[in-house]
């Protein structure tokens, strides 16, 4: 054997003995400083770091069918899920409970994936925000009515509480839809907080034809269509009242009543009294 070969073997042996000694030191002293781990250049190459890790797929969650376009079908390989902490069963590799060192078994699963929900056009969606122009504000008033009178402008969807010195408090309102509008003058004959609702017989019959069943009586509350307050007009069936659909303010959507936001009708309720004159024009 050549001398240089003997020299190389001696160096390798010395390194090995040093490593064994160091390992023994680490085992006896947990506070010892470990040398950094140095990976082989082959193992640290970029192509190794970019290898994709194995993935495990599970059945997709269920969904409630709604308005969807035609769904699509897709087949994928799914790994059988392991039950951690269980021992493997002889002759049943790839089944739930298999040992962690055994490779997973795959099976073909076909998913019926729901497609994107059908989106309605923007013009078909109900308006959910009220135009800020219909918020309460103090405006100039030069009409013929005396202070303390309520004037409802059904064309512009505004209600005015006439005040002194050529001023009026203006609110946005919802008015009767086409065929249900009306004009007239009536006093406030009754005031009610969180009123109950008894739809007229003709309204119940009309809505039934449209496929909507109205209750004979509904207690007052947030879900009640009359809202937080109601001002009854003369001996008619019409009222100035709140609403549980504030986005309809500024539109013609009622069956003849004058509807306001709950906040606004509550404010008006505190400012007027029974006998106040109401002019609907």
pLDDT at 38: 60
- Residues of the chain predicted below pLDDT 70: 1-128
Tracing tokens 């004037």 back to the chain, one arrives at: 151
**Topology (CATH) of 177-280:** L,D-transpeptidase catalytic domain-like (2.40.440)
pLDDT at 62: 45
Tracing tokens 């008033």 back to the chain, one arrives at: 141
Dist CA 101 CA 87 (whole Å)? 11
Beta partners for 77?
Answer: 108
Q: What is the three-class DSSP state of 267?
A: helix
pLDDT at 216: 87
Q: Which residues are catalytic?
A: 241, 257
Size of the chain, expressed as the number of residues it contains: 281
pLDDT at 13: 56
> What DSSP designation does 213 have?
P
pLDDT at 210: 85
What are all long-range contacts of 146-152, with beta carbons under 8 Å and residues at least 24 apart?
A: 148/272, 148/276, 148/277, 149/276, 149/277, 149/278, 149/279, 150/240, 150/268, 150/272, 150/276, 150/277, 150/278, 150/279, 151/279, 151/281, 152/240, 152/258, 152/278, 152/279, 152/280, 152/281
Dist CA 270 CA 230 (whole Å)? 11
pLDDT at 200: 87
pLDDT at 66: 43
């Amino acid at each position: 054997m050549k001398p240089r070969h003997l020299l190389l073997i001696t160096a390798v042996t010395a390194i090995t003995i040093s490593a064994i000694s160091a390992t023994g030191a680490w085992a006896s002293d947990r506070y010892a400083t470990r040398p950094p781990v140095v990976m082989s250049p082959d193992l640290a190459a970029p192509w190794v770091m970019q290898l994709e890790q194995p993935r495990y797929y599970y059945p997709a969650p269920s969904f409630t069918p709604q308005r969807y376009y035609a769904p699509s079908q897709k087949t994928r390989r799914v790994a059988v899920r392991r039950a951690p902490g269980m021992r493997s069963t002889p002759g049943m590799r790839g089944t739930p409970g298999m040992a962690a060192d055994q490779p997973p078994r795959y099976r073909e699963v076909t998913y019926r994936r729901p497609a994107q929900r059908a989106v309605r056009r923007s013009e078909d969606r109900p308006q959910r925000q009220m135009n800020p122009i219909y918020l309460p504000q103090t405006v100039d008033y030069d009409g013929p009515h005396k202070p303390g009178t309520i004037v409802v402008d059904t064309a512009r969807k505004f209600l005015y509480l006439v005040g002194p010195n050529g001023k009026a408090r203006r609110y946005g309102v919802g008015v009767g839809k086409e065929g249900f509008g009306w004009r007239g003058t009536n006093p406030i004959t009754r005031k009610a907080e969180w009123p109950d609702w008894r739809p007229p017989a003709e309204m119940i019959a009309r809505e039934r034809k449209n496929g909507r069943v109205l209750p004979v009586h509904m207690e007052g509350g947030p879900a009640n269509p009359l809202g937080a307050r109601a001002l009854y007009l003369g001996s008619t069936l019409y009222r100035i009242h709140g609403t549980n659909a504030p986005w309809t303010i500024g539109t013609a959507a009622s069956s003849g009543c004058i509807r306001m936001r709950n906040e606004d009708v509550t404010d008006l309720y505190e400012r007027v009294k029974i006998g106040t004159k109401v002019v609907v024009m």
